[in-house]
Amino acid sequence: MEIRSLRDIQPGEECFIHYVNVLQTVNVRRKKLYDNYRFWCECLRCKRELKILADTAIGDRLKLEETEAKAQTFLAKIDKEFDENYYKMLETCETGLDAVQNDLDTTNPHMAQLHVRTQEACIGLQKWKAAVKSGMEIIRACKTHLLPTDPILGFHMWRVAKIQAVTLNQPIVARDLLQQAIDVMSIGYGSTHPMTMEAKELLGTIIDQ
């Protein structure tokens, strides 16, 4: 087993791993942790995000919870009903985004999860430009909520850069993002991980052009 640290560790500092998808809201993460592991998470991030919620005016908080619940319903429907039925999946993602996007920040984790499924459907349907567009939204949300070295961020950067460079044949457009993906993946996955190696090889061919 190999353990990779995403940031420097101070002497005596406790190390944590996450048991759930970290690109979710604090309430969703804590509920899943409680349902699956029977504890209410008190990590620094949960405490920080709970404090923000507690400081939000009650009316705004109820509105936010209502909209997030709506987004959750769409996500659950997509995951349950449309496995590999990409037309239906995309249609429901678009309806879901339309229903919630006026009331949620563009980087809200529920928005990001809808974009993740939108991108999956677009890739399945070979709608590559739309897949890049969703990918950019996912990257923005990852940058907002995750550590800058999180492998999830690296993965999404790599996915978008690869579509741009290889499928859309726009290597120059992809170059900066590809470099960033390599920097992040070198820490998150390691510099010799097959995905990092493949990204480096692709960047090499772009620089040679």
Q: Helices (H) and strands (E) in the chain — how many of each? A: 9, 0
Stretch that binds Zn ion, among 7-15, 36-44, 57-65, 185-193 (CB under 5 A): 36-44
Judged by CB under 5 A, the residue of 6, 20, 22, 43 near Zn ion is: 43
- Pick the binder of Zn ion from 6, 46, 53, 206 (CB under 5 A): 46
- Concatenating the DSSP letter of every residue in 124-149 gives HTT-HHHHHHHHHHHHHHHHHHS-TT
Q: How far is the CB of 5 from Zn ion (least distance, A)?
A: 18
Minimal distance in Å, beta carbon 47 to Zn ion?
Answer: 8
**Residue 197 interacts with Zn ion (CB under 5 A)?**
no
Q: Name the residue with tokens 């678009």.
A: 94
* Residue 28 is a binding residue for Zn ion (CB under 5 A): no
How many residues at the interface with Zn ion, by CB under 5 A?
3
User: Among 203, 208, 191, which Cα is nearest to 2's?
Assistant: 191
CA geometry: angle at 152 spanning 172 and 140, to 5°? 60
State yes or no: residue 41 binds Zn ion (CB under 5 A).
yes
The smaller minimum CB distance to Zn ion, of residues 39 and 87, is found at 39
Structure tokens at 97: 């985004």
| Site residues (vs Zn ion, CB under 5 A) | 41, 43, 46
